[in-house]
């Protein structure tokens, strides 16, 4: 399955509470993603919480855009990526 880097901007900062409400919100995202065969692998958040860089496995960029819309998440850019492991060359 293809892997994608998804860039998102949050002008008002990303806010995911560190409690049951935050866990429920993220669980809902995972569930809605699964409906389209999209798997959220990992995310990186800038220190100011205004931008994220997320890794997804998905059948297509359209599947990611569709689930992002269902999850009320912005999408600035989607780029197909591959793993480059620096330790592979040793």
The 10s digit of each residue's pLDDT in 54-84 is 999 999 999 999 999 999 999 999 999 999 9
The answer as to whether 90 is a domain residue is no
Q: Which domain holds residue 23?
A: 3-83
Closest CA to 8 of 81, 59, 72: 72
Q: Per residue in 12-71, pLDDT tens?
A: 999 999 999 999 999 999 999 999 999 999 999 999 999 999 999 999 999 999 999 999
- The DSSP bridge partners found for residue 53 are 7, 44
Residue 80 φ/ψ, nearest 5 degrees = -70, 135
pLDDT at 47: 98
CATH code assigned at 63: 3.30.70.3090
pLDDT at 89: 78
The answer as to whether 9 is a domain residue is yes
How many domains, the chain?
1
Indicate whether 88 pLDDT > 90.
no
Indicate whether 90 pLDDT > 80.
no
């Amino acid at each position: 399955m293809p892997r994608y880097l998804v860039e998102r901007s949050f002008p008002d900062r990303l806010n995911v509470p560190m409690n049951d409400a935050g866990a429920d919100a993220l669980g809902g995202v995972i569930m809605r993603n699964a409906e389209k065969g999209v798997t959220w692998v990992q995310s990186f958040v800038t220190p100011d919480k205004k931008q994220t860089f997320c890794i997804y496995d998905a059948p297509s960029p359209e599947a990611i855009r569709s689930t992002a819309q269902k999850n009320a998440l912005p999408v600035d850019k989607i780029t197909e990526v591959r793993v480059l492991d620096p330790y592979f060359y040793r």
